[in-house]
A and B are shown apart, each in its own frame.
Chain A
Amino acid sequence: MPLKSFWFWAALSIALFTLAPVAVVFTYYGSPENEIWRHMKSTVLPEYVAHTLFLVCGVGVGTALIGVSLAWLTAVCEFPGRRFFSWALMLPLALPAYVTGFVLIGLLDFTGPLQTLLREQFGLSGFPPIRSGGGVVLAMTLALYPYVYLLARNAFLTQGRRALEAAQSLGLSRRRGFFRVALPMARPWIVGGVSLVIMETLADFGTVAIFNYDTFTTGIYKAWFSLFSLPAAAQLASLLILAVFALLLIEQYSRSRMRYTATGRASGNTRFVLSGSAKWLAVAICTLVWLAAFVVPVVSLGYWAWQVFAQDFDQRYLGYFAHSLLLGALAAALCTWVALWLAYAGRQQRDFSMRLMTRLATLGYAVPGAVLAIGSYSLIAWVDNHYIAWMESLGASSGPLLQGTIVAMLAAYLARFLTVAHQPVEAAMQRVTYSMDDAARSLGLSAIQVLGQVHLPVMRGGMLTAALLVFVDVMKEMPITLMTRPFGWDTLATRIFEMTSEGEWERAALPAVGLVIAGLLPVLLLVKHSEK
């Protein structure tokens, strides 16, 4: 029993630590309503709500359409290039939405190369502006559809063709079979994918900032850094959290349905061979999405970066790189280490309370970075104030202990990315069976030796994956880094923010290339994994 309760307390403290930044945001409800919040509520809040709703609907529908159709084509049909597209269509995962966003603006804006060409050569004008709600939806859809694609594809692949054949043997045509069988069976996966997309949409800061399309996240940033009102920012953040938690419930529900809808083995996959015009339509759709979401952004970035490289790449970039790498590495080590504790606790004590702790500790992935930034900062400030008061009561005078360090950043990163690390670590942990423990102990190893000689070697792959995923996610992360970094701690991501705020797309491309190269690493890992 004492050992059990030790693991329970460990899991509980991890959960409390990661949930604290979220909880802190709600404490501002106690403070009296201030002038700035009243002002925001009557002026900009309706716009934030309308914009956020528009994005959620637009991006949700857009990614569902694109993701599901591509998944269907590559999982069930056969057409020229299918094998290539089935992995190539995952590649856009390497591009943060804000990078896709600023490339689109750079290319399609009024002063961009495409409109300029059409205007000067053909006298065409009057295109809809790219810096609009529609533009943001386009950028985010292109960047986020892979979430739906991956999950829906997985669903269609595991369904195999057996279910469809059963429908056909009962008299349904292929088209009706798709709508009556394949799609409903894949629904939990599709809902799961779309809710991930919507979470990302709600959490997005970089893209909407670039498009100047204000939502909650940019509102939080403005309240804090332009209007200097932390309470107003926290009020906004708390509203955003409520929306996120509603979404979280939907996602949880769809996950629980997945278990029952799994249909066992895939059948010997003979695919529907598309012929004639259907074949070329499939090729055209895949090519178009792949070009728009990956090739065009990457080529543009490469071209722009090459153009500005000579004049722009200097001493400062070493700093950006060093900061990005250092933050990524620290966060990766921290998250993996904590995830290991959490997974180990879950293994030692398998009961409801432990599962609850694990869920709570890993909820942060749903919470937007802007919210965590506020919460983490407030928390650190609170700790510092108490520390200073305590020092004064001892007769000593002291400055703040934690403010101005990277502790606030790391705390927020941990809250947001613990899930990312926990999933591969937990999956690896499940490969260590209990009888392996017993076998090792019966061969004379102590508990510690079992850890070192059995658990860690078996789990090494999972832990490396966890660290890599967190590392890359932190490098791409924008709002937390932007809002809680100590003075002078500029990274590649904040450099992009800086350059895009000034409309310098070419100069923003240089740091973006670094992020995309890093971002490709986990995607290639995923591709390799899914090709097995």
Chain B
Amino acid sequence: MDLLEIEDISKHYGARKIVDGLSLQLMPGTIACLLGPSGCGKTTVLRLIAGFDQISAGAIRIDGEPVSLVTRMLPPEQRHIGMVFQDYALFPHLTVQDNIGFGLFDLARQARAKRITEMLDLVHLHEAARAYPHELSGGQQQRVALARALAPRPRLLLLDEPFSNLDVELRERLSLEVREILKHEGMTAILVTHDQHEAFTIADEIGLMHEGKIQQWDTPYNLYHQPKTRFVADFIGQGVLLPGTVLDRDHVEIELGVLAGTLPLECKAGCPVDVLLRPDDIEHDDASPMQAEVTHKAFRGAHILYTLRLAQGGSALSLVPSHHNHALGEKIGIKLMADHVVAFPRGKHV
């Protein structure tokens, strides 16, 4: 059974719709991520699940029990949902151990102390147990916030942009560490972020949000390779859309050649489409007869990302091992190496 079930919820402030008919289900033990640009309503969804805000339509159920209905909502303190806030919201007047033990007020003294010790072990903060939050580094504060939220064994953990206050290097390391901790605890969690790399690192499933709706709910792999809408294709990863023509149900022709793959249902032969090409779909091959001009290059260490002008004026990206170092304006040989095709009917902005 699904642990969390969100059915067609909406949230509006006056005429402004922040969340617009959003649904999702979450199996126990899954780490999910709501990904999207700022202002897409992802944090609002978290606040609705946590019970800090009231929904305008729909229903939220946890373990089958309705916690948010339009007419009735369970107060946040009775939901057993943990939350890690963007600014951590640690209590500055309490030590690390008292912060972690804050939600354990129902436990007896010894059980409480034992749980606090467990959590300190889990996040490796034993030596800082008696420190105050302002004495900790950003990464340590983050771990205290996580331990505090996990300590009362919530049914579900919500994390609101938990790494956005950290520097890039630490972000990468901590997000892996957090994933391990969550998996170790068997915790079901939803994370909100605008950073796709963070989402890819930590999540089993990602919901890409845009204008209050989930555009696509999928694994990180599928989100990248099988985007269902133009918005998803554009938001995730890099790539270009090249015009093409459908030949039959399984083939589409673009200026670089013919691609095989499943095409959008409504397209018959002759239908004009836009085909998504990722930088790894175009390989550099000096022997190839097909030539393209280098218009821009970005050095990435092991690879160089070339922006190319094709013969008919369209542009494409190609990720090339960096010992193939070509100058701007040079013509280089390329070949198409896509094993599947992602295409959208031309002129329809979905």
Contact = CB atoms under 8 A, between A and B. Distances in A.
Interface of A: 162-163, 165-174, 181, 184-185, 187, 260-265, 270
Contacts, number: 73
23 contacts: A163-B91, A166-B85, A167-B77, A167-B102, A168-B51, A168-B77, A169-B82, A169-B149, A170-B148, A170-B152, A171-B105, A171-B106, A171-B152, A172-B77, A173-B75, A174-B75, A184-B93, A187-B93, A260-B132, A263-B92, A264-B87, A265-B87, A270-B52
Of B51, B76, B103, B148, most buried by chain A (CB within 10 Å of CB) is B76
B248 interface: no
A518 B345 CA distance: 73
Given A165-B85, A174-B75, A260-B134, 18 more contacts: A162-B85, A162-B89, A165-B52, A166-B83, A166-B85, A166-B89, A168-B51, A168-B52, A168-B75, A169-B76, A170-B82, A170-B149, A171-B80, A173-B77, A185-B91, A187-B93, A261-B93, A262-B92
B223 interface: no
A288 to B, nearest CB: 30
A264 B133 CA distance: 13
Contacts of A187: 93
Given A162-B89, A184-B93, A169 B75 contact: no
A190 to B, nearest CB: 12
A163 B89 contact: yes
Contact of B50 (A162, A169, A173, A181): A169
A182 to B, nearest CB: 10
Interface string B89-125: 1111100000000110110000000000000000000
A173 B89 CA distance: 17
B218 interface: no
Interface residues of B, number: 29
A482 B61 CA distance: 72
Contacts of B92: 185, 260-263
Interface string B59-83: 0000000000000000111101111
Given A165-B76, A165-B83, A166-B83, A171 B103 contact: yes
A169 to B, nearest CB: 4
Contacts of A168: 51-52, 75-77
A206 to B, nearest CB: 38
Of B51, B92, B105, B106, most buried by chain A (CB within 10 Å of CB) is B92
A270 B85 contact: no
B211 interface: no
Nearest to B83: A169
> Nearest 10 CB-CB pairs, A to B?
A170-B103, A169-B83, A166-B89, A168-B76, A162-B89, A261-B92, A184-B93, A168-B77, A260-B134, A171-B77
Contacts of A173: 75, 77
B91 A181 contact: yes
Nearest to B157: A169
Contacts of A264: 87
Contacts of A265: 87
B81 A169 contact: yes
B253 interface: no
Contacts of B87: 162, 263-265
Interface string B147-168: 0110010000010000000000
B280 interface: no
B53 interface: yes
A262 B132 CA distance: 13
A166 B53 CA distance: 14
Interface in B134-151: 134, 148-149
A270 B90 CA distance: 19
Contact of A263 (B76, B77, B89, B158): B89
Nearest to A262: B92
B136 to A, nearest CB: 12
Contacts of A181: 91
Contacts of A261: 92-93
Contacts of B81: 169
Contact of B102 (A170, A185, A270): A170
Contacts of B158: 169
Contacts of B89: 162-163, 165-166, 263
B40 to A, nearest CB: 16
B71 to A, nearest CB: 15
Nearest to A161: B52
Contacts of A270: 52-53
Contacts of B103: 170-172
Nearest to B148: A170
A163 B85 CA distance: 9
Contacts of A163: 89, 91
A165 B52 CA distance: 7
A177 to B, nearest CB: 8
A429 B93 CA distance: 32
B93 A166 contact: no
Contacts of B106: 171
Contacts of B85: 162, 165-166
A171 B83 CA distance: 11
Nearest to A264: B87
A173 B51 CA distance: 13
B200 to A, nearest CB: 27
Contacts of A170: 77, 82, 102-103, 148-149, 152
A172 B77 CA distance: 5
A267 to B, nearest CB: 8
A173 to B, nearest CB: 5
A167 B85 CA distance: 11
Contacts of B148: 166, 170
A172 B91 CA distance: 14
Nearest to B52: A165
B286 to A, nearest CB: 54
A261 B91 CA distance: 8
Contacts of B132: 260
B93 A185 contact: yes
B341 to A, nearest CB: 43
A184 B94 CA distance: 9
Nearest to A260: B134
